Amino acid sequence: MNNRRLFLKSSAAVLSTAIAGTSFAKAKLGEQKNPKTDLQLGIAGYSFIKLSLEDTIKIARQTGVTEISIKDKHIPFNSTKEEALAVIEKFRQVGSNIYAAGMITMKNEQDVDRAFDYAKNIGVDMIIASPDIFLLNYIEGKVEKFNIRMAIHNGGPEEKWYPTPKAVFDNIKKCDKRIGICLDIGHSQRAGVNPNQAYNQYANRVIDIHIKDVDAAKEDAHDVELGRGIIDIPELVSSLYRQGYTGKCSVEYQKNLDDPLEGIAESFGYFKGICKALKHFDIR
């Protein structure tokens, strides 16, 4: 753990040196749509899918998690409002805000109803989901009724409806703008789609991002800590700044779900180091 702390402490300086020579180092703050917007780092609830609520809250405190998309593992769908608020308060006590519900699979209208009731019950304005495609019209009506956004998640090459960000966009482009894309950069890369190019192409509909890294651009690629794989995270972060992205950048760490603390800490440190380095060189 001491070596890991040293890595995190020195990450900004190391990354600054590396970034100085990259192809996007010529980008200027003045070219951004919203140059003063800092990226909001969060975490996807699936990172804690094998942990108890108590261990999840402990890691949130240890790693400085401020934004979480919650899974029903930790606030079950059948929770009363009082039960949900009690869990939310435990996260608040360690500085963590529940900003979204999900990821939620939806196979029928009852699943959609349950998801929107759940989001309303826990007080969030976004659901991250993978709904069957024939449900989109029904979902649009729910979005209009509840004013709760729906971020549809691209699930990779094995996903039936939404293997790529383009597949999500093609199906929602005529929908209410509150139905957007949850861009999972790891699944995008596994599907052979450069996640930075996908973000730039569909930026106006990306409302949430799952941040991860993988070791190859193929279906059976393995998840790794940020910066240890093939995804160009600095390039993506630079694009997020230039496009004025205002959603959450939620790390989804899946390499070691039984004991994710060190992987989450390293991934957070890497992402924060990238942001600091770009800011230091004024090349966001």
Q: What is the pLDDT of residues 158-183, one digit of tens each?
A: 999 999 999 999 999 999 999 999 99
Q: Which is it for strands 223-224 and 213-214: parallel, antiparallel or unpaired?
A: antiparallel
Exposure of 143 in the CB half-sphere (CA atoms within 13 A): 21
CA pair distance 210, 212, nearest whole angstrom: 6
Task: Identify the weakest region by mean pLDDT among 1-15, 114-128, 174-188, 255-269.
Answer: 1-15
Name 99's Cβ contacts closer than 8 Å, sequence gap at least 6: 42, 67, 68, 69, 124, 126, 248
Q: Comparing C-alpha atoms, which of 228, 238, 235, 230 is closest to residue 283?
A: 238
In a 3-state reduction of DSSP, which class is residue 93?
helix
Position 232 confidence tier, pLDDT thresholds 50, 70, 90: very high
The CATH classification number of 2-280 equals 3.20.20.150
Position 263 confidence tier, pLDDT thresholds 50, 70, 90: very high
What would the two tokens of residue 147 be? 């004013």
Alpha helices in the chain, H assignment, sequence order: 2-19, 53-63, 81-93, 109-122, 136-146, 165-172, 185-190, 195-202, 233-243, 261-280
Tell me which DSSP letter residue 48 carries. Answer: G
Are residues 14 and 273 in contact, defined by beta-carbon separation less than 8 angstroms? yes
